[in-house]
Structure 1
């Protein structure tokens, strides 16, 4: 059984539509796929409608969070999407993305980088959740940087970079509690991805576990072997589930669907703990 619990579609910053993502998951030999777009569940209905026979969809999202000044991403699975408190926070997170992106494009212009706001909107697509990956792609097209990764540096739009603009982020401990109250399950995404910026100290992971965090992502393209070992050790110490995922974004990243997967027993435990929604099989 092959299970990938971290993917993105055009509903946020992926390049595959939810329909194409479901078809791609089946073609890649996956049995279970989670759709975890950033701060939105907008792609879920299309994904359900496009589910190939035998493929199981785990509805979820990836929440933008902060813990004492450090940004992090929290994967939320199988929560009730209509639960008011969590729905309100997702709306706040999404609403902040457009003014933030506009401000980043403005700073790029001040730095002499010819990125057009209209092109960023086109790249996000109708109804898409605009994010820095869309700006990075526009920077590549404009010849500012050679590739998307080069945009996410201190020179440009990385956290703390010359064109960086802060965004609204949900307090991580609050997020864990909100997801749990909505019947969902939480997993800390790529916790030791040092190339993304500052990482949480292990004491903070322990605090999140105390608040109800269910798991932690170990097998991820941004974790080397030593990081994966340490995540597993930390999970064992704190009683957390361990997941593995591709963090697939289509052509925007080099990873492929199913590049890293989650143990079936862990997936079964995630599904058993959830009460807000259930996996859907085509």
Structure 2
């Protein structure tokens, strides 16, 4: 079975609706797909209701987290699988981060406006279509004005990668792992060697996260070179972590396709057996 454990829909910064995403996953020949929108479970019900026969949906989220082990904190993303969405402490943290994303978007629009770029908050919210607001929605506004050609170009340092980028109120990394575990979920570190996204976590930090309950680590990812994947596998062996592979699919916001990277079925079965918050859904 081909398994893709990291995808995004219009519930956050993807371009496919949850319903369209699961249909495309079936067309791509996947047996299981995880919906892991940023800091939200909004797309779960729609994706579950639209499941094609034989496709399994792993409900999850990608949590905006931050490691504060050094003077300059490092942003990290934590994939949380099969947790109970009704677990109040985790739900409250996700709600707080979503509010912070809204406030950040407003402040970034103000920075752009100050430089004479006529992006509006209402336009950015329109692109978000009621989902979690992210930088790709700002990028689409820049594309519309002909200032950049692609989302990747919008994420370069002269635009949303540095000059107009602001921080949001992420969840402390250790608190995020604890909350996911308390909610019956399974925490996996997303794209840990993706240096194009910013500073990467040192191995010592990942060891601390593993000791705190991190279950797995994403090795096969579009932003990882072959040497990165080899290093992650070696580190995972040393720390007793499971290794996953995923597309991090965002629809037309990225060039990667569903199922371009996948997770070993044995790791998937272990993940499902570990979770106690909720269970995968399979289309009838």
TM over 0.5: same fold?
A: yes
Matched, 1:251 2:252: yes
* Structure 2 CA distance for aligned equivalents of residues 113 and 258 of structure 1: 37
Q: CA deviation at 1:114?
A: 2.9
Q: CA deviation at 1:81?
A: 0.6
Task: Give secondary structure in 2 for the equivalent of 1:96.
Answer: helix
Residue equivalent to 2:184: 183
Identify the range of structure 1 (70-79 vs 91-100) with the bigger mean alpha-carbon deviation: 91-100
Q: CA deviation at 1:144?
A: 1.6
Q: CA deviation at 1:241?
A: 0.3
* Structure 1 CA distance for aligned equivalents of residues 248 and 254 of structure 2: 9
Per-residue deviation, residues 74-108 of structure 1 (Å, max 9, x unmatched): 00000111011101101101111111101101111
Task: Give secondary structure in 2 for the equivalent of 1:278.
Answer: coil
The TM-score normalised by the length of structure 1 is 0.97
Residue equivalent to 2:147: 144
Matched, 1:2 2:2: yes
* Structure 2 CA distance for aligned equivalents of residues 175 and 66 of structure 1: 9
Residue equivalent to 2:134: 131
Matched, 1:164 2:165: yes
- Aligned residue pair count: 279
Residue equivalent to 1:13: 13
* Structure 2 CA distance for aligned equivalents of residues 273 and 242 of structure 1: 15
8 Å Cα contact 1:113-1:144 kept in structure 2: no
Q: Kindly report which structure 2 residues correspond to 1:1-282, keeping only aligned pairs within 5 A, or say none.
A: 1-68=1-68, 69-125=73-129, 127-158=130-161, 161-282=162-283
* Structure 1 CA distance for aligned equivalents of residues 195 and 118 of structure 2: 29
| Structure 2 spans left out of the alignment, 5+ residues | none
Task: Give secondary structure in 1 for the equivalent of 2:47.
Answer: helix
Q: CA deviation at 1:117?
A: 2.3
* RMSD (CA atoms): 0.8
Task: Give secondary structure in 2 for the equivalent of 1:208.
Answer: helix
The TM-score normalised by the length of structure 2 is 0.97
* Structure 1 CA distance for aligned equivalents of residues 230 and 140 of structure 2: 33
* Structure 1 CA distance for aligned equivalents of residues 44 and 109 of structure 2: 29
Q: CA deviation at 1:31?
A: 0.2
8 Å Cα contact 1:140-1:146 kept in structure 2: yes
Per-residue deviation, residues 127-180 of structure 1 (Å, max 9, x unmatched): 21111011011111111222211111221212xx12121101000011001100
